Amino acid sequence: MLSVHQDVLQIIQAKFSSFEIVKSVHLNVSILGEYWSEQHHILAVVAYHSNSALFLFSSKKPKPFHLSDLIIEAVIPIDENFECLSDPIPGEHNYLLFVVRYRKVSFEFRIKIGPESSNFASEIVKSKERFLSEESDKRWLLKYTDLYNSLENTELKSQLDDIPFIRQKMAQNQNSINRDSMLKYQLKLKEPEFTQYQEFTLFIGTWNVNGQLPSISLKPWLSSDDDPPDLYAVGFQEIDLSKEAFLFNDTPREAEWEKMVLDGVHPKAKYRTVALTRLVGIQLIVLINTKHYQYIRNIAVDTVGTGLLGKMGNKGGVAIRLELHNTSLCFVNSHLAAHVEEFERRNQDYKDINARINFRKYPTAIKDHDQVYWLGDLNYRITELTTSQVKTLLIRNEMAALLRADQLNQQKERGNVLLDYNEADITFPPTYKYDLNSDTFDTSEKARPPAWTDRILFRGKGIYQLAYRSHMELRISDHKPVSAIFKSEISVINQAKYRKVHEELLKRMDKLENEFLPQVTVDQTEVKFDLVKFREPQFRDIIIANTGQVPAEFEFIKKLDEQSYCKDWLRITPYCGTVNPGEKCDVRLEVNLESDLTELDDILVLHLNGGKDMFIIVSGKGQKSSFTTSMSALCRAPMPIMNLSEIQWKKIVALEGEVLYSIPRELWLLVDHLYKYGLAVRDLFESNSTQESFVKIRDWLDFGSTEPLPGSVETIAETLLIFLSYTKEPVIPFHLHDVAIAASSNYQSCKNIINQKLPDIHRNVFLYICMFLQELLRHSNENGYDAKTLASLFGEILLRDPIRNSKPQASRENLVSFIIF
């Protein structure tokens, strides 16, 4: 572990339990893909006993300072399904592409090459090794994956079982990795529904040409059958034995042999080269009948040397992979170690080729293909028999005895090589070693025993071998060429059916995506309040129930051109929150009427993050009250306002009709009561009376009564303050505010405003209140009020702003205190 990241390591460790150990981290990872690139990302390998996982974090800063900077974006278990590889990035020498695959999902990270990346990579390799030796248990990861937990639906769950856990936000963000991989996976499962098998004829050939020049026609080998094959895979060994070829892996023979092959193919069809690959003298060409060419995709080649030093190209294997229609094919041409006694070396070469061939495409390895054809000079010999014994058995045609002595058969039987490959019965004579230009086995001094060094094996479903033979006519080499004809079942996509299945799946995915949208129900979409009265709050609860598959984040949102998400007479608590699937949340709607509204109407928009919006209609009727009626109107009312007829009320509100009182009756009743009973009461205005007692006084004023004014003097004092605070226009009308405040430091100008600018009723009220305050001050010994306190208390109310308390306080006090004295 690099010490520079020790601090980061600790921060990340803080995200985990003490059994979950952060083994290694990599900072500054960028991710290729659509959504991610802009954030800072960090990778971490975390171990839990013998299990490990790769965590992908997004971080608020390049280097996190606190664990809250980190969000887990994805969790990929490091188990048997975990694969990783690195690729160079063209043009970026300091970076490499680190590709992680988990089943069908892949992530691509760009990381800087250096000690950090190599340490990190080795930790991943170690984790994977550690895993392979122990049992897999992914349960510890579940807690990091809200996606996984929220899936109640088992159908969904089984579909998601096969992919790593990706943070739900991303899933909700219509993450295409998820969608893509899900679709591919589903398509794979449904393959039988849209594919049918079609037989293709494959010609596989192998020939060790012993470094000879391509001087003869290959027709006797490549076109000895009546019908042309659909595909050729032709392998050569030892096409060039020169030092130059060995050292520089370059030889003119490559093109020459390719031409010989193209000239030698069956005349009844046209072929073109699909791929050619070569390692020193080991060459492989795949040709396809031109009519099939368009159905070939994803061609890749790779070569592996197993010769000198275990890696030089004098021995080894070359491979070509491709997809023909919907079947993946792999052809391997190998030239394994020589010498009779070296069969174990040959086994090892085979294993090395398998392990090291890597097509860097999916699938990457030989074994991952639907069909594999393995050909070449495998170099296995006949043991336990002398040359003359072999020859005698051959003359007597006792093939069984000979084949029992064949090392490949023996080693294969023991499971040491080509384990699950098949080979047809050999009915042709050994293909090695002949005198050049003859059909005679080696007559040189060494007189090597003949052997079936040249072989063709196969692996996979639906492969039927029609022929397996050698071609004696080709005599330029000390080996004879071998060929095999296969009828192989290739899965062909029925376009019409494919389109149907694909469409259906897309539809299903759309449906799934729609199901993944947050869904809630609200128990009532129309909330009606009873008659709403001044300062008498009411509430209704609504229940938001999550009926969807994912947590629902809700919020009441503003409508176009509105200031707030609800009218000012309404309060919503909570106005936002999250409800988990299957759970509920109570939301309280509370009305409190402080204006003269008679119709209460609002439509609330309950928005689900990433989903639909619901409307909730709130309605109610407001009851009129003297508290919210203008003072000019009240002075015209001959009786308590609730006793007025509708017509009378309308007239009064329109300020029609005679002014009956110089100040509102209600104000007089309150103040008069305080004159009589309250002047000497200590802390008169400090009461905190109950809702109930206020309501009684309000109704007494609004409805009128023969009973005495209910409530304590403190409550009545408070009611007076409320009355003055809510009158439709404040005592100093809004339009005079600025003038009044500007004049506040000058007694004379204040007086002028009061005398000349205030409407009559307002002036009456103002003076009446001032007189009352002066009266209070006369009793300040008993009630404890001084001028300053009273001025600030009443100044705020008499000069109230439409939006309360937005003007400097001091000047209001001044205004009032000038007046009082």
Partner 1 sequence: MSGGPYNYSYIFKYIIIGDMGVGKSCLLHQFTEKKFMADCPHTIGVEFGTRIIDVCGQKIKLQIWDTAGQERFRAVTRSYYRGAAGALMVYDITRRSTYNHLSSWLSDTRNLTNPSTVIFLIGNKCDLEAQRDVTYEEASKFAEENGLMFVEASAKTGDNVEEAFLETAKKIYQSIQDGRLDLNAAESGVQHKPSTPGRNNLSNDNQANKDNCSC
Which residues sit at the interface with partner 1, rule CB under 8 A? Answer: 32-34, 99, 104, 106, 108, 174, 176-177, 179-180, 183-184, 187, 297-298, 323, 325-326, 361-362, 493, 495, 498, 502, 506-507, 509-511, 513-514, 517, 525, 559-560, 603, 605-606, 611-615, 617
- Exposure string of 302-313, with b = 16+ CB inside 10 Å and e = fewer, is bbbbbbeeeebb
Is the CB of 281 or the CB of 611 nearer to partner 1? 611
Pairing of the two strands 70-78 and 165-166: antiparallel
Q: Which of 452, 435, 455 is nearest to 444 (CA)?
A: 435
Cα–Cα dist 721/282, whole Å:
104
Please tell me what DSSP assigns to residue 435. -
Closest CB 173 distance from partner 1, rounded Å: 11
Length of the chain: 821
Q: Which of 452, 451, 433, 453 is nearest to 443 (CA)?
A: 433
Q: How many CA atoms lie within 13 A of 241 on its CB side?
A: 9
Closest CB 88 distance from partner 1, rounded Å: 14
Closest CB 111 distance from partner 1, rounded Å: 16
Is the CB of 291 or the CB of 511 nearer to partner 1? 511
Closest CB 619 distance from partner 1, rounded Å: 10
Q: Which of 674, 669, 675 is nearest to 698 (CA)?
A: 669
Is the CB of 176 or the CB of 290 nearer to partner 1? 176
Residue pair 142/149 in contact by the 8 Å Cβ criterion: yes
Sheet strands side by side (includes 20-31) = 82-89, 92-102, 105-112, 20-31, 40-48, 51-59, 70-78, 165-166
Closest CB 665 distance from partner 1, rounded Å: 40
Angle, in degrees to the nearest 10, between helices 760-778 and 665-677: 10
Is the CB of 178 or the CB of 411 nearer to partner 1? 178
Is the CB of 250 or the CB of 510 nearer to partner 1? 510
Closest CB 326 distance from partner 1, rounded Å: 5
Is the CB of 31 or the CB of 45 nearer to partner 1? 31
DSSP per residue, 338-405: -STTTHHHHHHHHHHHHHH---SSSS-SGGGSSEEEEEEE----B-SS-HHHHHHHHHTT-HHHHHHT
Task: Tell the residue number behind the tokens 């062909």, with chain if given.
Answer: 492
Cα–Cα dist 200/240, whole Å:
33
| Per-residue tokens: 448 | 């090597």
Residue pair 696/671 in contact by the 8 Å Cβ criterion: no
DSSP per residue, 170-221: HHHTT-HHHHHHHHHHHHHHTHHHHEEEEEEEEEEEEEE-TT----S--HHH
Closest CB 732 distance from partner 1, rounded Å: 36
Cα–Cα dist 124/77, whole Å:
11
Is the CB of 604 or the CB of 633 nearer to partner 1? 604
- 82-88, long-range: CB < 8 A, 24+ apart: 82/54, 82/128, 83/364, 84/121, 84/124, 85/358, 85/360, 85/364, 86/121, 87/360
Residue pair 488/464 in contact by the 8 Å Cβ criterion: yes
Q: Which of 351, 354, 350, 319 is nearest to 336 (CA)?
A: 350
Is the CB of 6 or the CB of 495 nearer to partner 1? 495
Closest CB 426 distance from partner 1, rounded Å: 36
Closest CB 112 distance from partner 1, rounded Å: 19
Cα–Cα dist 817/747, whole Å:
9
Closest CB 297 distance from partner 1, rounded Å: 7
Closest CB 73 distance from partner 1, rounded Å: 16
Three-class DSSP category at 565: coil
Closest CB 663 distance from partner 1, rounded Å: 42
Closest CB 509 distance from partner 1, rounded Å: 8
Is the CB of 76 or the CB of 769 nearer to partner 1? 76
Is the CB of 78 or the CB of 322 nearer to partner 1? 322
Is the CB of 314 or the CB of 519 nearer to partner 1? 519
Pairing of the two strands 463-470 and 520-522: unpaired
Is the CB of 63 or the CB of 502 nearer to partner 1? 502
Is the CB of 34 or the CB of 738 nearer to partner 1? 34
Query: Could you report how far apart the first and last alpha carbons of the chain are, in Å?
Result: 82
Cα–Cα dist 402/387, whole Å:
11
Helices and strands (H, E) in the chain, number of each type: 26, 28
Is the CB of 360 or the CB of 414 nearer to partner 1? 360
| Per-residue tokens: 14 | 């803080």
Is the CB of 466 or the CB of 506 nearer to partner 1? 506
Closest CB 200 distance from partner 1, rounded Å: 16
Measuring CA to CA, how many Å separate 541 from each of 588, 734, 811? 4, 37, 44
Closest CB 121 distance from partner 1, rounded Å: 19
Closest CB 561 distance from partner 1, rounded Å: 9
Angle, in degrees to the nearest 10, between helices 760-778 and 787-798: 160
Is the CB of 351 or the CB of 507 nearer to partner 1? 507
